Structures are given as C-alpha cells and as structure tokens.
A and B are shown apart, each in its own frame.
Chain A
Amino acid sequence: MRRIISVLMENAPGSLSRIMGVFSQRGYNVDSLCVAPTADQSLSRLTIITEADDKVTEQITKQVNKLIDVLRVAELTDSAHVERELMLIKVSTLTEVARAEVKRNVDIFRARILDVTSQHYTIEVTGTSDKLSAFSDVMAQCAEITESARTGVCGLSRGDRALRP
C-alpha cells in the first residue's frame, strides 16, 4: 500500500543521509522524496512516498524516529490530508494542430506554460501524483515529451493536526 511518511528533522549536514540509510540498510523502498527547510530554518521537512504494508510502515516510522536528528515522524495516509506534487514538462510540437491541442490540455488540467520557443512548450502542472501522470500521458499523445522533472509528493494533515518540534 502507498504511504506518505512525513519527517521533521534538524536541518544539519548528514541528517538526510541517515534517513536514507535506514531505508537502504533495512530494505525499504523510496518511491519519491521531497525535502526542504521549514519556516523555522533550523528544521527540515521531508516527505517520503513508500510502498509498504502495516508492519513495515510501523518499522519505518519507528526506525526513522530513532535517529538522533529526527524530531517527529507521522504517517499522513493514516488520516485526512492534502498532498501535492509539481511537475515541469517540456514538449516539442511541430504542427499548429499539436500546439493547439497542448494549449487546450494545459487549460483543462489548469497547468501553466512557463516557457515558449518556436518548437517547445515548458509547462508547470501541480496536483496529486495521479493527475501529473494523467497529464503526462495526455502530453505523450499530442506531442513529443523532451524531458520532465517531478518534485515528489509533499503533504500536510488536514485541520489542526501538525508536526511540531
């Protein structure tokens, strides 16, 4: 089952490698990873997507929580939450018809075109991972995908639940 694990940790050198170490040495998967400092610059917030059953998820959260640099660990998929991922995708279009089709789909998916050249569109799209994949599929049908980059999912609990230090 797909899990979203959220980690609050010290924004210090080596913290991230320790967390990734737990995953590699204990044989857990990382499907995506998103990390950046929080509003409090001394802390970093990490969102990890992994595929795991209940027992493995419990071990992941416990083993990560055990690291000295880690303040809090929560599994967001436990309860109501919001999650978003951002994708930048560059497509090449040679015909007018294709350019129109790309533009129409950008509107349908509420994406944004960030850069235009005579043959390329670079598009920003935000949403759930499924939406991004769907958009990518649609683009593949109406144009040629030159390259794309995804941030990995980041998420927060709904309501007043929060990871605080």
Chain B
Amino acid sequence: MRMMSGAAMVVEALKDVGVTHLFGYPGGAVLDIYDALFAQDVVKHILVRHEQGASHMADGYARATGKTGTVLVTSGPGATNTLTGIATAYMDSIPMVVLSGQVPSMHIGEDAFQETDMVGCSRPVVKHSFLVKRAVDIPKAIAQAYYIANSGRPGPVVVDLPKDIVNVQDSHPYVFPDDVTMRSYNPTLKGHNKQIKKAVACLLKAKRPVLYVGGGSIASEASEVITYLAERLGAPVTSTLMGLGAFSSVHKQFVGMLGMHGTLEANKSMHNADCIISLGARFDDRVTNNVEKFCPHADIIHVDIDPASISKIVNAHVPVVGSVKTVVNQIHAVLDEHDLSGQEEKLADWWEQINDWRARKCLDYVQGDTVIKPQKVIQALYEHTNGEAYVSSDVGQHQMFAALYYPFAKPRRWINSGGLGTMGFGLPAAMGVQFALPDACSVVVTGDGSIQMNIQELSTCLQYNLPIKIISLNNRALGMVRQWQDMNYKGRHSHSYMDSMPDFVKLAEAYGHVGIKVDTLDQLDDAMKRCFAEKERLVFMDIAVDQNEHVYPMQIKYGAMDDMRLSKTERT
C-alpha cells in the first residue's frame, strides 16, 4: 500500500481519473496541494488571472472535448469567484469538478480568515458536492466527483478540502476505489421499450414532424444517429442554441435555430408541426415563448436523460427517459421493422410549406458601403475559417449573430453560455478549447461589453502562447440591452452606453498580443486575412459595427412560437 500526504493524494487521484489539465490559482488553503503539484508533470496546471476565468476555461475545455474540466482554487474569495462559472456549467449541463481549499477542519465555523461555506454557497448550482473530512477519503471523493460530473445529466461537482487533511507532513494509505457506483445514483440510459414503440408510432403517423435537437444530443454524442434518423424520416430539423452543430447546419433538412431569435422557418415549422420529437432539449423559455400558445397541434415526444426535465414546462405526450444516443438507436431498431419508402411522399406537402417560409429569407440584411453590419463580420469569419473554427462566444447581440450566421457542421464547435447567459465567458472558454486542442482554430466572438468582463486573461494567453483570435464587435454600447430599450423602453438608453472605451489595439499590445482595428467595410477582408495569417499569436480584432443594428428575427413577447418581428418594421 502506498503511503502519502493528503495533498499528494489529491494529485494522485487526479492522475488516476485521467486529468491532464488543471485550471487554478493558488492561495493559503491550497498551498499544500500546490506543493504536491510542483513535484510532477502529468497534471498540467494553468495559472489563470482570476478564478472565474479558471472555471470558464475548464468549462470550454469540457464543451470542446466532452471530458470533465477541472478547477483548483483556494478557500474564501478563490472559491466564491468560481460560482459564476459553476452556475454557467450547471445551467448548460457541463461536466466540471471544482476542488476548493477550505480552512482547517477545527476552524470551520469560526469565521476564520478566508473562510466561506463553499458547499453551502454552491449548493443551488452544483450537481453534487463533497466536504472531505479525512485524508483517507480523498481518493474516493475525487473518483466519485468525476463519475457524478460526467454521467447521467452532466454537471459541476464541488470537492471542498480542509487544509488540515491535505497537510504535506502527514502520511496516509492511498487506495483508489475500483468501484465508484452509488446505491442512490443510477442514471437511466435506456428508454422504456413501450415508450419507444409509442414514439415510433407517433413519428410514422406524422405528416408534419419536426426534430427539435438540444444540448443533450451533443452531451450524448448522438450526432450520427440523429442525422440518420432525420434522413430516414425525411423530417426537418431545428436546434436550440445549445444544440447547434449536433445536426449539421449546412444539411438540407436543417431549418435553423429556433426560439426567441430563431429563424422564421424553424419557428413556423414548430408551431405548425403535428409531431415534435425533442432530443435532449428542455423547452426553455427562450424557445417556447408563451407556453399557453406553444405548438398547439403537436404530439410531443420528449427524450431526456433527466426525468425532472420531462413535462416540467410543456406536457409531453410520449415521455422517454434515457440518453439521447441510446434512445435514438432504440428508435432505429424499431424503425427497421417498418417500411419507410412512403416517407418522402408523405412529407412532400410539409416541405413545400417549409420552403415557402424559407423563401422569405429571414436572415437577409442590408449591408451599406461603409459602416460594417455585425452579420457581415460573422459571415467573413465563416469564410476565413472555412467553417472549421471552434467559436466561443460571449453574451449579447454578437452571440445571436454568431449562432445565426456561422453554420456549424459539427458538434462541440459552438461554445457559449446558453442557460445562464454569462458575459465574460467567451475568452476564457476559448482558452479552455485551445488548451484541449492545441492545433484547433479557437475563435472568440465577443463585444465591447463582454470582453471587458474577463479581459485580464489576455495575460494568461501570453504566458501559455495561446494563438486565439478575438473578434470583437464593437458598437460602443451594450447592444442587446440597447435593442430591448429601443423596442420596449421608447429608446431610452439607460446605462447601455459606454463613452470611455479603451483603445483595444493598444490594450492587446500591452498584453503582448497583436491588435487590429477595423473601421470600414473595405478594411474587413484584408484585416481578417492578416488575423488568420498570424498562426502563432493571439490577435484582437476590434471591429467597429453599426450601433443601431438589431437582431432579427425576434419572437414577440406573450405570443406563440411563430409570432415574430422580422425587422424593425415587419412582423409575421
């Protein structure tokens, strides 16, 4: 039996669960663990500039790879600084483990220096948490944390480690558990056969079916089987913000993203459907609009690994609890017993109708000669990256433009905070992507508001030579706030305007990177070329875009899915 200190056990257990990257920031309560990290080079530690950055990096790392992201922070402020990142991961079901230092056991509850009840603070936004009380329990707690984080419906797990149990002077037996299963935790992966048969009957009866694909399709790696399902049925596919890329956005059966800023054809298809199969989506309020008016003609098949998501918002006619991939494979097995040759003819009218909606070209916009439209920047980005980039986004107008104008052909390429809507997510997330995939083209689409929320991580980028490309749509305003103020507050731009913007080019240069300013349309293409020619360095593109542009289409509040504004003057 190997004997080691609690701190060494933490590092050893991380190695045993296969952790290669650890995003963290040292401090008093974790100095012993940092000392243990110093003695090895299997687990690569990345020193961030702010703990929130560490949490988003671990998140981006997880989204791009499907592997669990890991964070190490000290007690008190170190721990609380990760809460936004934990909540972001929780809302989007991203596997993450946060190891937080804690004051020594005997001082817990005494309001000791840098003490916070991290288990308590994080409780509403974690899948589970551990407060480890004895050094010998460290390997099991860490092993279970990773098992819980990345099984069932994934999510963040906190492991709180009091300083006395990780003392480097002590020695304890290290036993990594062979079995991490728990009697109280058994996620259901396989759908109930009776429900699968009902779902198939519903799909085959349908004349106007829609596949509604969400983030669960990406988490369960179901892209291939979903594509095959869509093609077998000949049905249109729409995707949530979180599901983009699970089904190729350049596939002819893709009708675009749905919801608040969804395409006309996606929202119309949903509203007029007679059968909707939801695959790992959760009927978020940013999708449904007014639930009372939601898809009045449709039978709803709801496939989700989390039983609590089913019928939470919209009543499901055919609930199926299970992993999307497993359930879709089960559906395929039942479909094998049916003759599907009549599908194309059966759905011909439906496609004719959908193509009429498509003909409206709801994403068209007017690009003038000089002032750059934000949509144009995203389209230029798509061309210059051949649609192959990993695009991390912040939150706001630029996020919606990126989602709508950069078609993702593959899963895990679109990295954004969908549920929590965390500004400041983009840059650190793109860093996590770049650490996980050093050869990938990691791009941040951001705005002048969001980028300033975690801009300190530019320093980390230099330390680790991350050649990230930052595409900042600078409209000198908080664009989405301004848009809502234009639409709902008679154009009173209360505190959505910043008249003290830094010189982003100089700022990028100050951090040791390349900055490029783009003011007019004629400069855009050359600037993009210069940006992507810089293979080894981070480039910050500060692109001035039209301040008055709004994101359209946009659902009209309290309406049905397809009650939408199509431009500043047109409605459905």
Partner of A17 from the list B120, B184, B306, B307 (CB cut-off 8 Å) is B120
* B123–A66 CB distance below 8 A: no
> Across the interface, do A165 and B183 meet the contact criterion of CB distance under 8 Å?
yes
Chain B residues touching A, range: 10 to 19
Contact between chains at A69 and B184 (CB < 8 Å): yes
The answer to whether B307 touches A62 (Cβ under 8 A) is: yes
Is A144 interfacial (CB 8 A cutoff)?
A: no
Question: Do A65 and B129 form a contact, CB below 8 Å, given A9-B184, A165-B183?
Answer: no
The winner among A10, A14, A59, A68 for most chain B CB atoms within 10 A is A68
| Contact, CB under 8 Å: A14 / B307 | no
A10 engages B184 (CB within 8 Å): yes
Cα–Cα, bound, A55→B308 (Å): 11
> A14, B131: Cβ atoms under 8 Å?
yes
State the CA gap A17–B182 with chains docked (Å): 20
Given contacts A58-B311, A59-B308, A63-B308, contact A68 B128 (CB under 8 A): yes
**B182 contacts which chain A residues (CB < 8 A)?**
68
**A117 within 8 A of partner (CB):** no
Let me know if B308 and A14 touch, CB within 8 A.
Answer: no
| Contact call B184/A71, Cβ cutoff below 8 A | yes
Residue among B120, B184, B311, B312 with max Cβ neighbours from chain A (10 Å): B184
Asked if B308 and A71 sit within 8 Å, CB to CB, the answer is: no
Q: Which residue of B lies closest to A165 (CB)?
A: B183
Residues of A with C-beta under 8 A to B306: 66
The answer to whether B184 touches A66, judged by C-beta atoms less than 8 angstroms apart, is: no
Is A159 among interface residues, defined by CB-CB distance under 8 A?
A: no
Q: Is the CB of B312 within 8 A of A21?
A: no
| Beta-carbon contacts under 8 Å, A49-75 to B | 55, 58-59, 62-63, 65-71
A21 to B148, CA, bound (A): 19
- Check: A25 CB closer than 8 A to any chain B CB: yes
Q: Which residues of A contact B123 (CB under 8 A)?
A: 17-18, 21
A21 touches B183 (CB 8 A): no
Contact of A27 with B by CB under 8 A: no
Distance (whole angstroms) from the CB of A68 to the closest CB of chain B = 4
What is the CB-to-nearest-CB distance from B189 to chain A, in angstroms, rounded to a whole number? 16
B124 and A25 form a contact (CB under 8 A): yes
Interface members, chain B 119-133 (any A CB < 8 Å): 119-120, 123-124, 127-129, 131
Tell me how far the C-beta of B87 lies from the nearest C-beta in chain A, rounded to whole angstroms.
12
Do A62 and B308 form a contact, CB below 8 Å, given A69-B184, A71-B184, A165-B183?
Answer: yes
Give the distance in Å from the alpha carbon of A18 to the alpha carbon of B130 in the complex: 12
CB-based contact B184/A70 at 8 Å: yes
In the complex, what residues of A have CB within 8 A of residue B128's CB?
67-69
A69 proximity list for chain B (CB < 8 A): 128, 184
Q: How far is the CB of B568 from chain A (nearest CB, A)?
A: 38
Given contacts A68-B148, A68-B184, A71-B183, contact A21 B124 (CB under 8 A): yes
0/1 interface trace, chain A 12-35, chain B, CB 8 Å (1 if under): 011001100100010000000000
**Chain B residues within an 8 Å CB radius of A13:** 131
Query: Are B119's CB and A14's CB within 8 A?
Result: yes
A17: B residues at CB distance < 8 A: 120, 123
Instruction: Considering the complex, give the chain A residue whose CB is closest to the CB of B307.
Output: A62
Q: CB-CB < 8 A to B131: which residues of A?
A: 13-14
Whether A68 touches B307, Cβ cut-off 8 Å, given contacts A14-B129, A17-B120, A18-B123, is no
Residues of B within 8 A of A58 (CB): 311
B307–A66 touching, CB < 8 Å:
yes
In the complex, which of the residues B182, B183, B185, B308 has the most CB atoms of chain A within 10 Å of its own CB atom? B308
Measured CB to CB, the closest approach of chain B to A8, in angstroms, equals 9
Closest B residue to A71 by beta carbon equals B184
Check B307–A65 contact: CB distance below 8 A.
yes
Mark out the residues of chain B between 313 and 335 whose CB falls within 8 Å of any chain A CB in the assembled complex. Answer: none
Q: Which B residues are in CB contact (< 8 Å) with A25?
A: 124
**Which residues in B have their C-beta under 8 angstroms from that of A55?**
311
List the B residue with the shortest CB-CB distance to A69.
B184
B127 near A68: Cβ-Cβ < 8 Å: yes
Known: A58-B311, A63-B308, A65-B307. 5 other contacts (CB 8 A): A17-B120, A66-B308, A69-B128, A69-B184, A71-B184
- In the complex, 26 of the A-B residue pairs with CB atoms within 8 angstroms, ordered by the A residue number, are A10-B184, A13-B131, A14-B119, A14-B129, A14-B131, A17-B120, A18-B123, A21-B123, A21-B124, A58-B311, A59-B308, A59-B312, A62-B307, A62-B312, A63-B308, A65-B308, A66-B307, A66-B308, A67-B128, A68-B128, A68-B182, A68-B184, A68-B185, A69-B128, A69-B184, A71-B183
Q: Which 3 residue pairs spanning A and B have beta carbons closest together? A: A62-B308, A68-B128, A71-B184
